[in-house]
Structure 1
């Protein structure tokens, strides 16, 4: 108690209000038979008066019908004292026209005044979710004897209201059909206030647009028409990145690598996405990724996407992958998808091939079927500052090893040509916002690949700007891997910040010695959000079993991501 008094004294002594000699405004609640109540202070008289009036209404609704506000002046202090007066209670209530299904769910109101009040609020909420937004509840024939109340509750349901098609204000490109399906407001179903609130939250999470405010409701001929005002986001992306790396084939010289990233979102206002990504990893290695996504197939809750990827690794092998994916929104934050994927690998040239053993890479075909999911509670999909996201997938299928005509047949003896292969991945990220200019990003990712006969061109590929920085893109081959990204961000704009980061990983590669590697990297960079797009610059140093920690191996990436 003494400590608390001293703390309050020091707080008042050094507060800006005391130093400037300004008047302090407080609100004090005095409830009968409660010896001590807290007092709250406010910087302005208007805010204190508003809080006092709100407290008065709450006291009366809880049964303190004679509650009142008294103003008390002190030295540089004005206190609004809310006196409760006696607590009134009900000695009996008569119910008229209250729905039976509500009584079965909530039961009869109790004797205390607070119970009927909460009970009536629940009854109105119940009516709003049953298509009766204009329902009325009245307490009639009230009689008072001392602090005991008797009366009757009358319920008037009003007209039944059903959903009609929603409407759009302004000239947004989003199609009404897409918005209707995304909102989950079914035409012809009874009006529901809670469903409207859930739909509003769901639309606010859309990556394609933002809501300018809560929907305006229009009621016509017992139909409810929600009117939404949208602002389209600038999501389409053209990204060109140039990297300067040490040229391993010509020591002392630099190798210029590149990347082109084109992403077109919400084409035609229907949630239709197309993306193309090309990367040149080194002199002879290139990667290409294509993706097409269509939302609400045939106006069903299903989304469908098709993906194709190609990776040419030097002159040793080429990998191809084709994916057909179907997704379903299981909740406002959850997404579940089912997919089938066909992967194929083919050998190219084999310089220095040892005729006594199979090469590290091999020809194979792998047909797999899998399930994935995502749980997203980020506050913003583009530039989150708070919240977390969890995603993962698991797949299994039959892998078939093909015999290459350039390799002696006897080397394939004892090798299982058909076998079951499984694969799993998981990723979690967390955004923490400590102060207006200071935030932190944490991400963890892991993967596992299991089969008795795994070859180099089947393994996971990690490393680079989007995983473990300080290394070339897709630098590592891994059978199992896990890594953590830690990033401190110092914001100097809404979406612009300086960063300092560290990446730490562990992986297993059965074709390298030693097989276990624990790479790490650290560095700094800047993200600058401009009116036309995002400029980024990252400098990183990394170390692993096959790359020493040296400025000669420093990675510098910079680029301009243009949105339109």
Structure 2
């Protein structure tokens, strides 16, 4: 084939594609220079691929002008300058800033309208024109909360009030006369999920007005439970006469086995000593939401502690639950103390819980001689009132609980073979994690207790010290009639399963028997590692009294492992 015709064909094809793919230019002007400035400020697209795109752009611009109050704007037919340039003219005309909307009070209440307008009257309310779309969307959402998920709102009979240069319209609400209620709640995945938690914890129950937004918010709170979680958002099946709610749940591993091994040097014998504890928590094994805890602790001071407590929530599907506790403490051959505690709790919502109960204590002096005058047989009976607040962060697998506060006060009497004496006690435990960012956080814990009495026995004082109170001291080695302590940690997460932290603890306590007041400090470091077996923790801490030098031989190493199963 000759080269000249071939080149002509190629050139023709190239120019043909160029013509097909050319860009069209759009220019829109107003009737005045001011109107043109307004149109330019709206930022419409000037470059388009075809005439259809230009038509859509001008329609979109007109809708914007309507929403801004230029309801009389008129689009003048286009003027084609050349094959690629188009000029449109838009007359904006008058701008209306406000609209009077008339409504029927039996369809929507005035209180709801007060949230979108500060000028609400018995038959109408006033809005800025630019707020119409957002306000109607909000009103439709509010109406849906009252059992009308398919409601529709629109403005009808829109007209111009020439005298006041404003707009007027009627609010038309289309909704079924019969309100939608939840008829059936169907659980998929974890069919044995305790139904009492739906009614009392999530506050979702049959015959409740249907509101999908509220339901989604409530079901998300399931992730605050340690024995169940939501695996997908809830779904709804609407039929002519009923509404069925589907919840998709999964049972979680909630049983834990916790223990630690501690060792340090005995200050008297200079020999290595070991201490430790075992802590077993069983949760929701009967699919009732119940929990059972068993604790046994033995430490280097020849002290032994046994605890067993049971929590039974939502008895007979009511919002009331019961907590039972048995605690036995033995101090070498000096004394034993037994606590029996029964509480009735009421779950206000997912975060708040209140308690009232009875605490009975009996302590026996095991020393036959009278060399220990501060240890005596006694019995106490306290009436207690408590409050608990919790806040979770389930997305953090290392620290799923972000905040907790527990406060308890008790009033009662201590009885001995000689006399009876009024007593009052206060207890508080609180902690909070301040998340600075995804990797850095600060942990602060406060713990304290006070016993108010005219006289004290050694075997009724509070005992603290060790890994769960002030670190760097022996377990339960400190006796106090009043104490307060603060644990702090700066935590840095190396990954989702490893973190390191500092230890800075401080405490103050009083012992009214010995007439002493002391300040204590603990310093150290630690790390945590989430393994297949559970969460492994290592702490190294050194404790000291105020105005005393550090003694590294008094350092304590604490090792613990919490296993979920």
The normalised TM-score by structure 2 is 0.77
Give RMSD over aligned pairs: 3.5
Q: CA deviation at 1:198?
A: 4.3
1:338 to 347, 350, 356: 356
Provide the residue aligned with 1:435 in structure 2. Answer: 437
Q: Are the structure 2 counterparts of residues 261 and 117 from structure 1 closer, same or farther at C-alpha, using a change threshold of 3 Å? A: same
Q: Are the structure 2 counterparts of residues 418 and 124 from structure 1 closer, same or farther at C-alpha, using a change threshold of 3 Å? A: same
Provide the residue aligned with 2:83 in structure 1. Answer: none
SS of the aligned residue for 1:207 comes to coil
Residue correspondence of structure 1 range 373-412 to structure 2 within 5 A: 373-380=387-394, 383-384=398-399, 388-402=403-417
Q: Which whole-Å CA distance do the structure 2 matches of 1:453 and 1:314 have between them?
A: 24
Residues matched between the structures, number:
483
Q: Are the structure 2 counterparts of residues 306 and 280 from structure 1 closer, same or farther at C-alpha, using a change threshold of 3 Å? A: same
Gapped regions of structure 1 (runs ≥ 5): 1-30, 40-53, 67-84, 404-416
Q: Which whole-Å CA distance do the structure 2 matches of 1:505 and 1:191 have between them?
A: 52
SS of the aligned residue for 1:99 comes to coil
- After superposition, what is the alpha-carbon deviation per residue over 1:78-109, rounded to whole angstroms, capped at 9, x for unaligned? xxxxxxx88544554343x5535613653432
Q: Are the structure 2 counterparts of residues 58 and 450 from structure 1 closer, same or farther at C-alpha, using a change threshold of 3 Å? A: farther
SS of the aligned residue for 1:120 comes to helix
SS of the aligned residue for 2:376 comes to coil
Q: Answer yes or no: is the 8 Å Cα contact 2:201–2:347 preserved in 1.
A: no
Q: Answer yes or no: is the 8 Å Cα contact 1:168–1:227 preserved in 2.
A: yes
2:145 to 118, 122, 129: 129
Provide the residue aligned with 2:458 in structure 1. Answer: 456
Structure of larger gyration radius: 2
Q: Which whole-Å CA distance do the structure 2 matches of 1:343 and 1:133 have between them?
A: 57
Provide the residue aligned with 2:317 in structure 1. Answer: 299
The normalised TM-score by structure 1 is 0.77
Alignment of 1:368 with 2:382, yes or no, is yes
Q: Are the structure 2 counterparts of residues 440 and 93 from structure 1 closer, same or farther at C-alpha, using a change threshold of 3 Å? A: closer
Q: CA deviation at 1:255?
A: 1.9
Moved more, 377-386 or 485-494: 377-386
Q: Which whole-Å CA distance do the structure 1 matches of 2:499 and 2:447 have between them?
A: 24
Provide the residue aligned with 1:316 in structure 2. Answer: 334
2:254 to 215, 235, 246: 235
Q: Which whole-Å CA distance do the structure 2 matches of 1:61 and 1:259 have between them?
A: 69
Q: Which whole-Å CA distance do the structure 2 matches of 1:102 and 1:366 have between them?
A: 57
Alignment of 1:246 with 2:265, yes or no, is yes
Q: Which whole-Å CA distance do the structure 1 matches of 2:547 and 2:98 have between them?
A: 80
Q: Answer yes or no: is the 8 Å Cα contact 1:131–1:191 preserved in 2.
A: yes
- After superposition, what is the alpha-carbon deviation per residue over 1:464-487, rounded to whole angstroms, capped at 9, x for unaligned? 111100011212111111111110
Provide the residue aligned with 2:448 in structure 1. Answer: 446
Q: CA deviation at 1:173?
A: 4.9
Q: CA deviation at 1:375?
A: 2.2
Q: Which whole-Å CA distance do the structure 1 matches of 2:184 and 2:253 have between them?
A: 27
Provide the residue aligned with 2:101 in structure 1. Answer: 93
SS of the aligned residue for 1:453 comes to coil
Q: Which whole-Å CA distance do the structure 1 matches of 2:296 and 2:206 have between them?
A: 44
1:471 to 467, 470, 473: 473
Provide the residue aligned with 1:191 in structure 2. Answer: 210
- After superposition, what is the alpha-carbon deviation per residue over 1:85-137, rounded to whole angstroms, capped at 9, x for unaligned? 88544554343x55356136534320422565455344323322221222111
